Amino acid sequence: MEKAVKVGIIGAGRIGKIHAENLLRLDDVEVAAISDPLAGGELEAWAAKRGIRRITTDSGEVIGDPEIDAVFICSPTDTHVPLTLAAAAAGKHIFCEKPVSMDLQRTQEALEAVRCAGVRMQIGFNRRFDHNFKRVRELVREGRIGEPQIVKITSRDPSPPAADYIRRSGGLFMDMAIHDFDMARYLAGSEVEEVYAKGAVLVDPMFAECGDVDTAITTLRFKNGAIGVIDNSRRAVYGYDQRVEVFGSGGSVTADNDFPNSVVISHGEGVVREKPLYFFLERYKEAFLEEIRGFMDSIRTGSPVEVDGFDGLQAERIAHAAKRSARLGRPVLLSELELAE
C-alpha cells in the first residue's frame, strides 16, 4: 500500500477549510495538523468531526513536524513569504494561495528559496482546473481556432466584500483580477508584454474610501501579438459571471457560465433560465478538488505542478502593472516594473 502523503494546513479560514475537506476526499492523503492563531474550541470541534486530531495556534509546529510532507499556506497574504521560506528550509512541498506576496522582490525571494530547497510549490489558481476553461485551453493548444488573436474574459462577483477585507486585499487588480491575469496567460499560451487598465467606483463609495476601485477594464498585449481584454465588477446583480472567449485566425471558442441546471422555460412573457451558480464556492467546487488532486499527484510522481511559482510571479507582475497603469492613465510595459516604486 502506498504511503499516505501527510499534510499540514496553515490558516483555518474559509479557504483553509475548503482545502481540508477536499484533501479528506482523496485516497492516501492524511490531514495531520491544522494551525491557526485563533484556533480554539470551535475549530477543534470542526476538526474532530472530520478525524483531524491535531490543532495548534503555532504554524512552526506544523512546519517543524518531520512527519509532514507538504504544507498548505492559507493564511493572510502578508504571512505567505515568511511561511514559504520556513517551509522550504524544512524541506516541505508547498501549496500557497494567491498572491505569494504584494511585493515582487519578496515573491522572488520566496521562489528562489523553493528552487534551492528542491521542493514543489503550487499556487492556488484553481480556475485553471475548471472543466470549461481547461477544454478551451486544450482546443487553443491543438490549433483548432488557428492563431489566437483576441482573448476576452468577463469576471464579475455577485456582491462586494466588506471594507475590512478590501483594505487588506491589495485592491481589485491584486485580489480579484489576478485570477483573470493568470487565466489570460493560460488561454493565450503567451506572456503579457503591456497592460493598460482603467478603474472606476460605480458600485459603492466604500471602495473609494478604501483607495480601491470596484469596476475595471484591462487590456493586454501578448508577446505572440494577441490582444486581451478583461472586464471586472464587484457586483453583478444576476450572480457570478465567469465567461471566456478566445478568437483566432481559424475560428473561436467560448465558455459560458455554469448554471444549477440546463432548464429553459419559454412562454409569452419571455425565455427564462436559472441564474448562474452563485459564487466561487459553488462555481469552482470541482476545480478546487482537481487542483488538490493534481498537487498530490505531483508529490507522489515527481512530475511538475500545473501552476508553479513562476505563474504566480507573472500574474503578480501583471497586477502591479495594471495598478500602475490605472494610476498613471497610460499603458505600462511589464519591463518597467523593475523601475517602479
The model's pLDDT over 249-285, given as tens digits with 9 standing for 90+, comes to: 999 999 998 888 778 888 788 888 778 776 666 678 8
* pLDDT over 60 at 45, yes or no: yes
Q: Which residues contact 53 (CB under 8 A, 6 or more apart)?
A: 47
124-144: average pLDDT: 96
* pLDDT over 70 at 294, yes or no: yes
Confidence (pLDDT) at 340:
47
Question: Cα–Cα–Cα angle for 138, 141, 143, nearest 5°?
Answer: 115
DSSP annotation of 20 reads H
Q: What gap in Å lies between CA 119 and CA 197, rounded to an integer?
A: 36
Confidence (pLDDT) at 217:
98
Q: What gap in Å lies between CA 207 and CA 225, rounded to an integer?
A: 34
Confidence (pLDDT) at 265:
85
**228 within 8 A of 219, measured Cβ to Cβ:** yes
Q: pLDDT band at 341, cuts 50/70/90?
A: very low
* Residue 226, C-alpha cell as written in the block: 494577441
**210 within 8 A of 132, measured Cβ to Cβ:** no
Q: What gap in Å lies between CA 95 and CA 29, rounded to an integer?
A: 14
* pLDDT over 60 at 71, yes or no: yes
* pLDDT over 60 at 1, yes or no: no
Q: Could you read off the pLDDT of 150-188 as tens digits, one per residue?
A: 999 999 999 999 999 999 999 999 999 999 999 999 999
Q: What gap in Å lies between CA 258 and CA 209, rounded to an integer?
A: 34
pTM equals: 0.94
* pLDDT over 50 at 70, yes or no: yes
Confidence (pLDDT) at 281:
65
Confidence (pLDDT) at 334:
96
**248 within 8 A of 145, measured Cβ to Cβ:** yes
**215 within 8 A of 154, measured Cβ to Cβ:** no
Alpha-carbon Rg for the chain in angstroms: 20
Q: pLDDT band at 67, cuts 50/70/90?
A: very high
